[in-house]
Amino acid sequence: MVCSDRPNVPVYNNSQMVGRYYEEFGIDKKTGESNLTQIYLEEGLDFIFHQNMAQRPFFLYWAADATHAPVYASKRFLGKSQRGRYGDAVMELDYSVGQMLAWLRALGIDKDTFVFFTSDNGAAVMSGPKQSGSNGPFLCGKETTFEGGMREPAIAWWPGHIPAGTVSQQLGTVMDLFSTSLSVAGLSVPDDRLIDGLDLSPVLHNNTLINRPIFYYRGNEMMAVRVGPYKAHYWTWSNSWEEFNRGINFCPGQEVAGVTTHTQQEHTMQPLIFHLGRDPGEKYPISAVTKEYQDALSRITAVVEKHKKGLVPGVPQLNMCDMAVMNWAPPGCEKLGKCLKAPKSQPWKCDWPH
C-alpha cells in the first residue's frame, strides 16, 4: 500500500480500473501531449464492432475529457488549431466523433443508431490562455449559473428518423436523455420514483416545442430559473474574493456590476430578470418598475412555487468534500498493485468555495 495526499484520477474499462492519469496513461502537462483520446476512440470503435458482430443492441457513453484540465491532444493534433491547446483538443474530439459516425455507416447500422452529442457544462474560462475555452456571447463559464456555465450545444443524429439540418429552440437538460432514450428504445419510464427528465422524442421527430422551465442550481441552492426567454436570478455569485484576489476569475473580461458578484448575493425579494433573446450575455437586467418585469416575475413565481412544493430531498451518494471517498482503491487496483490507503473519513471538514 502506498500513501498519498490524494489519488490520481483512475481510468476504467467498464467497472475495472486499468490505470491512473500520468502513470499508465501519460499526460505531459508541459506540452499537452497525450494519446488518451485516441485510446478512448479505439475502445469505442472496438465496442461497437463486437456488439454489432454479436447482433446485440448497445449503449455507449463516450465521455472524452481532453478539454477538461489538464487539456491535452495527441501529437497529430497539437499545434494544428488556431485556438491553442484547447482548440487542438476540440479538433481531436471532432475527428473522433466523425470516426465513430463513419464506423456506424460502414457497419450499416447508422439508421438503427441514435446519437446525441452535448456537454455537462459550459467551458472553463479561468484556466489561462492555453487551457481555457470560450462560451461566445454568454456570461462567465463553468462552475457558475450564468449562461456561460450552463448553456451547451446539443446535436441529435439519427439518419432516416431525425430530419437533417433541423434547428430547434427547445430547452433541454442532460436529465432528459434518460427519458428520451427509453422512449426511443420503446421502453417505459419507471413509475416507482420521481423522474426529473422529460421525453424529448416529439421534439426530435416532429420539431414540437415543449413548454418547460429550467432550474439552475449550485449545490443545494436554486440560483436562477428560466421560463421561456426570461431568466430570473434569485442569487448571484461568480467566485469568492479570496480566489479572485489570487488571480482566479470565473468571468475574465466580463465583469457585470451587481451581477457577477464575488459575494453570495441574494435577490429573492426582487430577482434580477433578463430577456435572453435580446440579452444573451445577461448584461442588462430589466427594470423592476416596468410592466414587462412584473409580468415575467408573475409567471416565474408561479413556476418556482410549484417546483419547490414538489421537491423531494435526495440522499447524496458522494460527499465530494470527504477525502476518504476518493478513488483510493477502486475495483481492479489489486491486479495492478495500485491500491492506495484511504485517510480517515472526516466529512465535517468540508469546505467547497463554489
Task: State the 10-residue block means of pLDDT for the chain, 354 residues long.
Answer: 73 92 93 96 98 96 92 96 94 98 98 96 86 93 96 95 93 96 93 91 94 93 96 96 93 94 96 98 98 98 96 75 87 94 77 54
Residue 118: per-residue pLDDT:
96
Residue 1: per-residue pLDDT:
44
Q: Cβ(134)–Cβ(99) under 8 Å?
A: no
Give the separation between CA 200 and CA 210, rounded to whole angstroms: 8
Residue 312: per-residue pLDDT:
85
Instruction: State residue 154 phi and psi, 5-degree precision.
Output: -145, 135
Residue 351: per-residue pLDDT:
56
Residue 4: per-residue pLDDT:
63
Cell of 336: 495492478
* H-only helix segments in 72-159: 84-106, 128-131, 147-150
Give the separation between CA 186 and CA 180, rounded to whole angstroms: 10
3-state class (DSSP) for residue 306: helix
Q: Cβ(232)–Cβ(296) under 8 Å?
A: yes
Residue 116: per-residue pLDDT:
97
Grid cell 460527499 is found at: 319
Give the separation between CA 135 and CA 173, rounded to whole angstroms: 18
